[in-house]
Chain A
Amino acid sequence: MVKESSEKSLIRKMIPNVFKAAVWGIFTYVIVSYLPTLLFPIDFLPFGYNQLFDLFVGIAVFFAVITNLFSGTIFGYAFSIARGLVMIIYFIVAFNGGIIRLTMPMQEFTVNLVVDVKAFLTILVLVNLLGIGKSLLQVTNFLAKKVEANQLN
């Protein structure tokens, strides 16, 4: 009887989270995939960058869904920190450590292009580090509140 009622309350708690996760998943997909492809044609991206873009969309949507699904729990914050770390690794890999090298065949000759995006990459990494810092503060706040509630009880 007690088990049944706790399952019901868990489902009741989960329903808004599932709804929120679905909405955030769709919203994130629209922002990171649909709108950019409307603004710029996908073939604008050079060579292997199409796959990297799809991977970025996948990571963004996955973490948007999972963090919202577990929001209000410690797992939500853990996934938020994981998102920051995965994004940092992704950006470093996608931007090839800040130096993008492309070789483009053009008619009779070959063009070698080197773009130094170290400054842009540094800012991206710092923003994600700030996000991790924010999640750490949130988890500290969450645990502090929990301990406080236990002590009061």
Chain B
Amino acid sequence: MKQAIRALATAILILWVLLIAFAITAVYSVMNLDIDFGETQFFPSNEDIVLSLPFFINNRGYYDISELNVTTRVTDYNGTLLALSETFVPLIASGSNVETVHNISIDLNDLFMEYTEILFNDGSFELDAFIALNFAHAIPVQMSINMTIPWGAPFSNLSIGEISVDPFYNLTHSEVVIPVSFENHSFFDIVGTMQLEVYNDMDELVTSEQRSLNVSSYGEYDEPVEMYLSTGDLSKLTESGKLHLVFESPMFTVEQWIPYG
């Protein structure tokens, strides 16, 4: 009996020493974990915008970090999924470091086709980040972060000013001037064209004009658009009607109807 008790006491002592040593070194390792996030960057490509989140992990602890999985979900204010991205790091061994980038790619063409209003109105997106890892191959850790990302509309406060008409621009033509203004609240420059069409109250096309656009990020566009029509067609221009604006860029094509008069 005495030997059994002594053996049990020794086993318990060894187990306690191991457990306490593990607990102390685990806490020490977590304290010495160096996690750093780089500057978040947006890269507009042809049809996508890429939100790039660089991060750096220096594991100065005693234990490996394995199966690091970073998953992000971007949803609009209705909860509709816009983008789902995943980054997987199989192993960050003890004493080593990892520098990687988590990219969230959003197809702008699809996005703007489905949600035209985000081109004209500022808003926000919801970003859910989910981080899972295995500490010391024994302790699974999960972390979730919810963030709201503000969205600046590229054609914010789109408006037209008072339409002025010069019936005798020259012998054959009359001039119609429509001031168009908007603010580019987005993080990308708008480079493309703007087509402006004037429709009368009978939905007849009166005149149209195309302008090239180059509005820098957080810049403003406020210019009068001069349009010409033959003097004979001036009677087609009614007191009220609709303006059809078509914005085209490599990233998107979008149209907007604005009533006048």
Contacts and interface: CB of A to CB of B under 8 A. Distances in A.
B4 to A, nearest CB: 6
A130 B142 contact: no
A101 to B, nearest CB: 10
Contacts of B5: 134, 137-138, 141
A141 B147 contact: no
Q: How large is the interface on A (under 10, 10 to 19, 20 to 34, 35 or more residues)?
A: 20 to 34
A124 B19 contact: yes
Interface in B26-81: 27, 31
Interface in B134-156: 138-147
B145 A110 contact: yes
A26 interface: no
Given A40-B31, A119-B138, A111 B143 contact: yes
Given A40-B31, A127-B15, A116 B141 contact: yes
Interface string A90-129: 0000000000000000101111111111011001100100
A25 B145 CA distance: 44
A2 interface: no
Residue from B2, B31, B142 whose CB has the most chain A CB atoms within 10 Å: B142
Contacts of A138: 5
Contacts of B140: 115-116
A138 B258 CA distance: 91
Contact of A111 (B12, B139, B144): B144
A131 interface: yes
Given A109-B145, A114-B142, A115-B141, A123 B31 contact: no
B12 A131 contact: yes
A134 B8 contact: yes
B171 interface: no
A24 B237 CA distance: 101
A73 interface: no
Contacts of B146: 109-110
Interface residues of B, number: 26
Interface of A, helix, strand, loop or mixed by DSSP: helix
A133 interface: yes
Nearest to B27: A40
A123 B141 contact: no
A140 interface: yes
B1 A141 contact: yes
Contacts of B15: 123, 127, 130
Nearest to A134: B8
A129 to B, nearest CB: 10
Contact of B24 (A39, A114, A133, A134): A39
A113 B132 CA distance: 10
Contacts of B9: 134
A30 to B, nearest CB: 14
Contacts of B98: none
B254 interface: no
Contacts of A108: 147
B139 A120 contact: yes
Interface of A: 39-40, 44, 106, 108-117, 119-120, 123-124, 127, 130-131, 133-134, 137-138, 140-141, 144
Interface of B: 1-2, 4-5, 8-9, 11-12, 15-16, 19, 22-24, 27, 31, 138-147
Given A115-B140, A124-B19, 10 more contacts: A39-B24, A40-B27, A44-B31, A116-B139, A116-B141, A117-B139, A119-B139, A120-B139, A127-B12, A127-B19
16 contacts: A39-B24, A40-B31, A108-B147, A111-B144, A111-B145, A113-B141, A114-B143, A115-B139, A119-B138, A120-B139, A123-B15, A127-B12, A130-B12, A133-B8, A134-B5, A137-B8
Give the 8 A-B residue pairs with the shortest CB-CB distance, closest first. Answer: A134-B8, A116-B140, A114-B142, A112-B144, A127-B15, A141-B1, A109-B147, A137-B5
